[in-house]
Amino acid sequence: MDTLMYLYTSAVVIAAALASIAVWAPRGLWLKLSALALSGLLMATAYTGLVNLLGRPKPANLEWALATVPDATVIGATMREHEAIYLWLKFEDNPEPLSYALPWNLEMAKELQKAMRQAKGSGTKVRMRKPFDRSLDRAEPMFYAEPQPALPLKEPVNS
């Protein structure tokens, strides 16, 4: 949410700078008023666009800030056949989960369902390897159930 305010503030500053240049340019009054009106329209459009994006999943192929993340925890998932695989992902360094949409892929959907069943059976979480890797060559499955943690060592009993 903090990023949203920075993005919107940047859009407003840029629009204001463009309006300022247009107002001070040696042009007719109607051109200056048009530039001010268009700047106001740009600010309103930027706000509406950014707010509209808040609740929507981001296409995974557009992620660039977290592109090199090695893995993520899948908090939730839903699939729409022939449309997309929707995921809520939790990253190690980010306290907030993020919503993503992967393009529909039957093999990936089967892999995710298998990992979800295994995780539910073992009481662990579903993990995702290289969530934003675009290569098609995968030696390991993208989704997997975390292994169960090792049991603590038993203390020797002294008689």
The CA distance from 76 to 4, in Å, is: 24
Token digits of residue 90: 């939790």
Domain residue spans of the chain:
2-53, 59-145
CATH class of the domain whose range is 59-145: mainly beta
Token digits of residue 97: 């989960």
Average pLDDT over residues 124-141: 83
Position 4 pLDDT exceeds 80: no
* Percent of residues, the chain, with pLDDT higher than 90: 33
Position 3 pLDDT exceeds 80: no
pTM of the full structure: 0.68
pLDDT of residue 154: 79
More confident residue, 62 or 77: 77
Q: Which helix (H) or strand (E) holds 108?
A: helix 106-122
pLDDT tens per residue across span 16-26 = 888 888 778 78
Average pLDDT over residues 107-128: 93
Beta bridge partners of 26: none
